[in-house]
């Protein structure tokens, strides 16, 4: 266990302590997490004063590859993350919700960097103007292409089970980073007086049994019978329905309080809405690290082999008992179809 005279354990102290546990570790992942943390502290600064700064709120007047209206803060967050990671000592390239294709860094140093990073720079950004919590989601892979050359698209198109680390920063009533490696999931709360993320939620666990379900019930008429049967079960059991419409916020509550978050396929969106590589995979990695589950309804999310950079998949994620209950309803519907 890490020891600290100040009781506060910063993200850097924690990641360096983790690195020291593995003699072969080089500290590059710690350095990458520090860079992501820096970018998110700068994003947080803008998000926290969004309503006050002329020109930072509102639409960018452009659309991203998803065809979604880009908010000015989306573009700010995206460009900031790309620039900080370009100057990182450990990132060979990035892929982002806001960019059509991967961005491979071609400077001599980056050609020899070991990791690539995918991110949704500001998930839930449509909630910025109503002050609901939003967040940055990130996923880190070790590149599979040889060092000494530009990273390739294949470095990003890996199955989620290959993730080295993944996490999110939630810009809410407090600003928190939650990240997982293959060995643990921990939460760090930003202490503004020192500008450091400090360990606040060690060894996070997703409750096995949950009683909160999180879904956009407005899509009821477009859902399959199996999804409707599951939601009816939740209502019959008087479970609480909570839906913020920001995946990071809905997932953070699910990790802290238990429950299930679902964005199923529907008659309008046959693959659901959320993106596999930089939303569903990182959240599935976190959920499983916390003892939860994450499935498309037919397959474990982390087993999927991506077929496109911005591929969408259905997702049922959270407490094991609720995800299994949803699967039972889906399977029953398939059996009777």
State which residue, 37 or 124, has the beta carbon closest to ligand P6P.
Answer: 124
Give the C-alpha distances (Å, rounded to integers) separating 50 from 2, 22, 57, 130, 258.
37, 41, 6, 11, 31
Length of the chain: 337
Q: How far apart are CA 118 and CA 333, in angstroms?
A: 35
Q: How far is the CB of 314 from ligand P6P (least distance, A)?
A: 12
DSSP 68: P
Q: Which of 51, 58, 195, 245 binds ligand P6P (CB under 6 A)?
A: 245
Q: CB under 8 Å to 20, separation ≥6 — which residues? A: none
246 near ligand P6P, judged by CB under 6 A = yes
19 near ligand P6P, judged by CB under 6 A = no
- 299, two tokens: 């397959």
Q: How far is the CB of 293 from ligand P6P (least distance, A)?
A: 18
- 188, two tokens: 């760090």
Q: How far is the CB of 61 from ligand P6P (least distance, A)?
A: 18
Q: Which of 247, 255, 260, 326 binds ligand P6P (CB under 6 A)?
A: 247
- Distance linking the first and last C-alpha atoms of the chain: 53
124 near ligand P6P, judged by CB under 6 A = yes
Q: How far is the CB of 20 from ligand P6P (least distance, A)?
A: 36
DSSP 57: S
Q: What are the φ/ψ torsions at residue 59 (nearest 5 degrees)?
A: -85, 150
Q: CB under 8 Å to 92, separation ≥6 — which residues? A: 104, 105, 110, 111, 113, 114, 115, 116, 143, 150, 151, 155
- Segment contacting ligand P6P (CB under 6 A): 107-115, 167-175, 231-239, 240-248? 240-248
The pattern of x and - marking residues 199 through 218 that bind ligand P6P according to CB under 6 A reads -----------------x--
84 near ligand P6P, judged by CB under 6 A = no
- Segment contacting ligand P6P (CB under 6 A): 99-107, 118-126, 142-150, 289-297? 118-126
123 near ligand P6P, judged by CB under 6 A = yes
State which residue, 177 or 262, has the beta carbon closest to ligand P6P.
Answer: 262
- Segment contacting ligand P6P (CB under 6 A): 140-148, 163-171, 242-250, 291-299? 242-250
- 185, two tokens: 């999931």
State which residue, 29 or 260, has the beta carbon closest to ligand P6P.
Answer: 260
Among 11, 71, 8, which residue's Cα sits nearest to residue 43?
71
Q: How far is the CB of 106 from ligand P6P (least distance, A)?
A: 31
Among 116, 55, 58, which residue's Cα sits nearest to residue 88?
116
- Segment contacting ligand P6P (CB under 6 A): 19-27, 201-209, 221-229, 241-249? 241-249
Q: How far is the CB of 98 from ligand P6P (least distance, A)?
A: 12
Among 229, 217, 205, 212, which residue's Cα sits nearest to residue 297?
229
Q: Which of 99, 126, 225, 233 binds ligand P6P (CB under 6 A)?
A: 126
- 283, two tokens: 């959240």
Q: In angstroms, how far is CA 87 from the centroid of its own chain?
A: 22
Site for ligand P6P in 270-289 (CB under 6 A): 273
State which residue, 35 or 279, has the beta carbon closest to ligand P6P.
Answer: 279
- Per CB under 6 A, residues contacting ligand P6P are 123-124, 126, 216, 245-247, 250, 273
């Amino acid at each position: 266990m890490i020891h600290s005279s100040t009781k506060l354990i910063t993200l850097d102290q924690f990641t360096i302590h983790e690195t020291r546990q593995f003699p072969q570790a080089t500290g590059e992942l710690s350095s990458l997490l520090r860079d992501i943390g820096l970018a998110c502290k700068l994003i947080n600064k803008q998000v926290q004063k969004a309503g006050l700064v002329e020109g930072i709120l509102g639409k960018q007047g452009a659309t991203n590859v998803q065809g979604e209206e880009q908010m000015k803060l989306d573009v700010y967050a995206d460009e900031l993350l790309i620039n900080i990671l370009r100057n990182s000592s450990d990132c060979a390239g990035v892929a982002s919700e806001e960019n059509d294709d991967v961005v491979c860094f071609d400077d001599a140093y980056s050609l020899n960097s070991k990791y690539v990073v995918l991110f949704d720079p500001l998930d839930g950004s449509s909630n910025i103007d109503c002050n609901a919590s939003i967040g940055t989601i990130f996923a880190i892979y070790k590149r599979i292409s040889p060092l000494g050359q530009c990273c390739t698209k294949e470095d990003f198109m890996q199955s989620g089970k290959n993730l080295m680390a993944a996490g999110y920063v939630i810009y809410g009533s407090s600003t928190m980073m939650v990240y997982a490696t293959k060995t643990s999931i921990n939460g760090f709360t930003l202490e503004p007086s020192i500008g450091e993320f400090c360990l606040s939620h060690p060894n996070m666990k997703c409750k096995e049994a949950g009683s909160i379900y999180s879904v956009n019930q407005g899509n009821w008429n477009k859902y399959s019978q199996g999804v409707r049967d599951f939601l009816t079960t939740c209502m019959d059991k008087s479970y609480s329905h909570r839906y913020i419409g920001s995946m990071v916020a809905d997932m953070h509550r699910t990790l802290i309080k238990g429950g299930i978050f679902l964005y199923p396929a529907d008659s309008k969106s046959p693959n659901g809405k959320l993106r596999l590589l930089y939303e569903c995979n990182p959240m599935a990695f976190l959920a499983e690290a916390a003892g939860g589950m994450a499935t498309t309804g037919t397959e474990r999310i982390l087993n999927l082999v991506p077929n496109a950079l911005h591929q969408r998949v259905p997702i049922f994620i959270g407490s094991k008992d609720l995800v299994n209950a949803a699967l039972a309803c889906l399977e029953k519907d398939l059996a009777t179809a």
